[in-house]
Structure 1
């Protein structure tokens, strides 16, 4: 990343997918840019660059964040989780497995962001209703599935982990 004349950088500390990082980021640099270009985490996708489509969604301290509009400098001290961090042990999560089982992955472009918002939902609401799931997906655009397979997968994943 080339720095414009007079542009300053700041050093931030992040924990990304359970790994600590100290990174010098430029003023105005987005979290998406930092993740993709500096940490080689390409799961979050660049699409609208306006925080409208959800393809770049990551979790910051457990809450969904549009990384395309979040300034990296504002993430200092935060814990970030990307789609790469979901299956840290090498095994798919219940949600990821349900996506496979329900054919909720088609072109796959929206999938990382969708998985992240649903992960946050299932962490907060272990037994969500279909309406809860649809509300959580409101900021994620999918042009391939029509959402029903995604909703079915989330309901199935919730049932699989419910006591």
Structure 2
């Protein structure tokens, strides 16, 4: 079974840019400028040839490692060049975390962004409802008397009286002998 992000690979890209500047003033969660990419090992071409770290479902191998090499990873990198049977499970996990930001299961896990979006939509709907109630109670005048049923019936009776014998309008649908509608 294919991953759910393979259908829309552009939505499955969470990248850390290292070649472009972020001077827009907006907070980008995983953006690294060129100064932060310094010291990271260049391990490949990447998806498009620039020095970016990207967690992507359709292109698994980033151009640079996720973390800089330090005192913890240096001996493990030397040990990695030998037989991998000599590496413990913890050593392999540490090496993985130095190369990649997250695992495939972490990458595909739901983020829960729908919760604040739903809360915002519900808040807007409730504010609009309270505003409409406020307008109905305090701003709009009461309905004029012409909207009352008694007034409408009186108007129809007056029309029937004045238009007796006409073949158009309400008078054409009223039986004057039986005093009821046809």
TM-score, normalising length: structure 1: 0.22
Please identify which structure carries the higher helix content.
Answer: 2
Please identify which structure carries the higher strand content.
Answer: 1
**Bigger RCO of structures 1 and 2 (CA < 8 A, at least 6 apart):** 1
